[in-house]
Structure 1
Amino acid sequence: MENTFLYGVLLPVLSLVILYFFITREPKNLPPSPPSLPIIGHLHHLKLPLNRTLLSLSTKYGPIMTLWFGVRRFVVVSSLPLAEECFTKNDIVLANRPKLYIGKHLGYNYTTLSSAPYGDHWRNLRKIATIEVLSSHRLNLLSHVRRDEIRRLMLRLARGRFQSHHRVELKTLFSELTFNIMMRMIAGKRYYGEGLTIDEAEAREARKLIKQIVGSGGISYVGDFLPILKLVDYNGVKKRVVELKEKIDAFIQGLINEHRRKKGDPELADSMISHLLHLQESQPEDYSDFMIKGLVFRPFD
């Protein structure tokens, strides 16, 4: 009896969802697309490796095609001339990013440079990033960091006294090199390898968090594509993202607070955080802690 009542409620609702999906999702003048299925769209076409799947589909349906991943429409461009047109003539039209769950929480509610919609806020962030954070002057000012980290890596390899046929796993070494350069430029700290400038426990926790941040780029929340699944936390993704957001915010705020306390410390003086905090003194409305955190988090996006 209970099952009959449940089916009697769910079937009409599901029918309305499917009907709404088909009525609202087909704008006119879209590029061609493969056959789709109700509700999931073209998700069943996606197979690894994804680049070969898209190549196979573009060979059949042309250099520009439409794919539906649930309720979200994607236009896939696989032609160089068309790609150039997207980034030149139509760059502003295509400037916005989709508002995904992970962008809301890890992108500070879509306010970071990589997640903010095109507009005054995005233009202001881009100006600050271009002039104050990633300008040639700032990068040249921190060139000693890059030189020092490369020197440390070469010395590490030299001390190993590798034989001519000794195999060296460079992926980890280059990864550590990259993150040490990034973190020294951002916060004036080394978190990997020898010669740490901080406590080992702090470095270990930071390394663990950085690994989680980098891994968050592969998180996909199915509720972004099938809204009905927002009713449940499928596979615990929502909980993990919120927990990671809190850890990131606490970590970066801790760096900002430390730089504020240790104002004048030569090891931190040239860091990006110190520079932004200096600008905050004269322009507090443009350089709030919230905005600084969004800029500092940008290199991990």
Structure 2
Amino acid sequence: MSNNVFLRNQSMLFIRHIYDRVIGFHFNQEKEREPKGKMFQFYFLVMIFIVPLLYIAYSFSSKRQRFNIPPGPPGLPVVGHLHLIKPLLHRFFHSYSKKYGPIFTLRFGYRRLVVISSYPLVKECFSGPNDIILSNRPLSMTNKYIAYNNTTIGTSPYNEHWRNLRRISSVEILSSQRLASFLDIRRDELRRMLRRLAREHTTKGNYQLDSFKEVVLEPPLSDLALNNVVRMVTGKRYYGDDVRDKEEAEIFKNLIIDIFENSSANNPSNYLPFLKFFGCKYEKQVKRIGNSVDKTLQRLLDECRKDRDGNSMINHLVSLQDQEPEYYNDVTIKGLMMAMIIPGSDTTSVMIGWVMANLLNHRDVLKKASAEIDEKIGQDRLIDEEDISDLPYLQNIVSETFRLNPVSPILLPREASENMKVGGYDIPRGTTVVINAWAIHRDPELWHNPEEFNPERFSGKNIKIDGSIDSVQTLMPFGNGRRQCPGSALGMKTVTWTVGAMVQCFDWKTVNGDKIDMEESRGIVMRNLKPLRVMCRPRPIMSKLVAEATS
């Protein structure tokens, strides 16, 4: 075998190794075919000469201005620490924090990453001038091609445009008055989901209250969350009963899956741009997804324009567009649609699943929750959203689940717009800063017996709607600082209300008396790795809900 072929093979194996270690990505059969021709040899020879030069230049330039950077493991030229990364990043980061401290540095390709796993350091990040310095998001291919070139509320730089988007979200879309106008939608979807679970207990049209049946919770919970947010935003119902356009619904759901699977955190091409010369098609793939998302959102927007009498968030934004067309343009509206639908459609259902899994693994807690609901609400009417404030133990259960099983274990990354200091260390401009919320939620200095599921730890404490406790905001289920999720109040209410209704309407137990497996999946959203299969039996109130639907 010639030297060129040997080097070429070794380089491809190294690239594959990086992919496998970072995200478990494997080349398919087409990608496994070795590139042929002189173009590949040309690019490879260029890399042989350019990479050492870049590394020397980087080393030289880094010495021109000395920074007291947080400690970290030794890395390799060009790739940095990508070869060290293992799945379940929050656990990987946590293991390194034990070795290098609560603040440490990694390098993902050309990007410097600072990981913070201490609440006192988080307070430093989001107080005083640092809060503004860390109010930007790092650029990525996903944000460029899918999020309208970094102009949505979740991806826009901290500037006047972002402040206007935040105001629109808070005042025009997610205000208490606006959300109250959609309360009937949320009530309707909750009842539909409960009846869907009850249908597992019908035999030849007869409704049976006295038997347990096995159900898989993910499908009904996912449809509930999607229908809630899509109906509020567009006025359309995509999933479950009485769905007209199932093909469009499937396209919509697949787009959401594509966005999460191709997020920036999941692909090393964002850190090693030269990978596109080695057969990586990530950029083309993200462009394709972005075009599909735009066409779908534009179609929904055009449909709402034709129906001016509709009661949806888009209808309201279209009416504002008539008044201020220069600002409420189609791109701005589509960006707001995306910001509502994409995060809210997946995280809510996943969180409800984690709460139910914890309840099923802790029968004493489930009994207390059921007793509280029976005492305060009873079996004569279904729990309503306004009842949540009268159910403190149920709120404690949800807060404890947010602590142990945060849907976003690593908060969305920030980028330092200026040089700053945290914990006595220098954070140079352009550094990506991430918060390991999962580690902070299990810090023994903050929580007694942190690995234990114990809702009583929140008893007597003033739990705010975003999950924070008094002035000590050690819970961060929806982020922190200026860029905290604007939909946190809606998300917290939806999770608590849904869990309360499921406990009120059904008796629950595990299949064969086994414990629910709490193993986590990889990805930016932390879900249960295995499908949540459980046993449920309708309680008396379900007879009334079923009768309502047939009357």
In the superposition, the TM-score normalised over structure 2's length comes to 0.50
Question: Matched residues in 2 for 1:75 and 1:158: separation?
Answer: 49
Tell me which of 57, 60, 68 is aligned to 1:29: 68
Counterpart of 2:314 in structure 1 is 273
Tell me which of 235, 238, 241 is aligned to 1:188: 235
Question: Matched residues in 1 for 2:146 and 2:97: separation?
Answer: 33
Tell me which of 46, 57, 63 is aligned to 2:85: 46
Question: Matched residues in 1 for 2:234 and 2:46: separation?
Answer: 56
Structure 1 position 156, deviation (Å): 1.3
Residues 170-212 of structure 1: CA distance to partner in whole angstroms, max 9, x if unpaired? 122111100010100010111111111x323333333333332
Question: Matched residues in 2 for 1:129 and 1:105: separation?
Answer: 22
Matched residues, percent identical?
A: 41
Distance 1:84 1:208, change over 3 A: same
Does 1:225 find its partner at 2:271?
yes
**SS of aligned partner of 2:115:** strand
Distance 1:58 1:2, change over 3 A: closer
Distance 1:86 1:8, change over 3 A: closer
Letter in 2 for 1:240: Q
Distance 1:246 1:219, change over 3 A: farther
Question: Matched residues in 1 for 2:79 and 2:134: separation?
Answer: 24
Does 1:284 find its partner at 2:295?
no
Question: Matched residues in 1 for 2:313 and 2:97: separation?
Answer: 43
Does 1:209 find its partner at 2:255?
yes
Contact 2:233 2:312 in 1 (8 A): yes
Counterpart of 2:185 in structure 1 is 145
Counterpart of 1:199 in structure 2 is 245
Counterpart of 1:16 in structure 2 is 53
Contact 1:21 1:71 in 2 (8 A): no
Structure 1 position 38, deviation (Å): 1.2
Letter in 1 for 2:131: D
Question: Matched residues in 2 for 1:8 and 1:205: separation?
Answer: 43
Letter in 1 for 2:258: Q
Tell me which of 178, 189, 195 is aligned to 2:225: 178
Instruction: Give the 5 Å matches for 1:131-170.
Output: 131-161=171-201, 164-170=211-217
Contact 1:21 1:39 in 2 (8 A): no
Structure 1 position 23, deviation (Å): 3.2
Letter in 2 for 1:212: D
Letter in 1 for 2:332: M
Counterpart of 1:238 in structure 2 is 283
Counterpart of 2:542 in structure 1 is none
Counterpart of 1:297 in structure 2 is 338
Structure 1 position 29, deviation (Å): 1.5
Instruction: Give the 5 Å matches for 1:249-264.
Output: 249-264=294-309
Residues 115-148 of structure 1: CA distance to partner in whole angstroms, max 9, x if unpaired? 1110111111111111111111111111111110
Tell me which of 74, 89, 96 is aligned to 2:136: 96
Counterpart of 2:113 in structure 1 is 74
Structure 1 position 230, deviation (Å): 4.4
Higher helix share: 1
Question: Matched residues in 1 for 2:249 and 2:230: separation?
Answer: 11
Distance 1:245 1:9, change over 3 A: closer
**SS of aligned partner of 1:117:** coil
Question: Matched residues in 1 for 2:74 and 2:3: separation?
Answer: 37
Question: Matched residues in 2 for 1:60 and 1:219: separation?
Answer: 23
5+ residue gaps, structure 1, are: none
Question: Matched residues in 2 for 1:53 and 1:12: separation?
Answer: 33
Question: Matched residues in 2 for 1:44 and 1:263: separation?
Answer: 54
Contact 1:25 1:71 in 2 (8 A): no
Counterpart of 2:162 in structure 1 is 122
Structure 1 position 278, deviation (Å): 0.6
Contact 2:78 2:110 in 1 (8 A): yes
Residues 67-102 of structure 1: CA distance to partner in whole angstroms, max 9, x if unpaired? 111110111000011112222332211111110111
Question: Matched residues in 2 for 1:67 and 1:2: separation?
Answer: 34
Letter in 1 for 2:148: Y
Distance 1:55 1:220, change over 3 A: closer
Question: Matched residues in 2 for 1:9 and 1:201: separation?
Answer: 48
Counterpart of 1:85 in structure 2 is 124
5+ residue gaps, structure 2, are: 5-40, 202-207, 344-551
Question: Matched residues in 2 for 1:65 and 1:213: separation?
Answer: 29
Question: Matched residues in 2 for 1:59 and 1:205: separation?
Answer: 44
Structure 1 position 2, deviation (Å): 11
Tell me which of 100, 103, 110 is aligned to 1:64: 103
Question: Matched residues in 1 for 2:321 and 2:45: separation?
Answer: 61
**SS of aligned partner of 1:183:** helix
Distance 1:63 1:261, change over 3 A: same
Structure 1 position 224, deviation (Å): 2.0
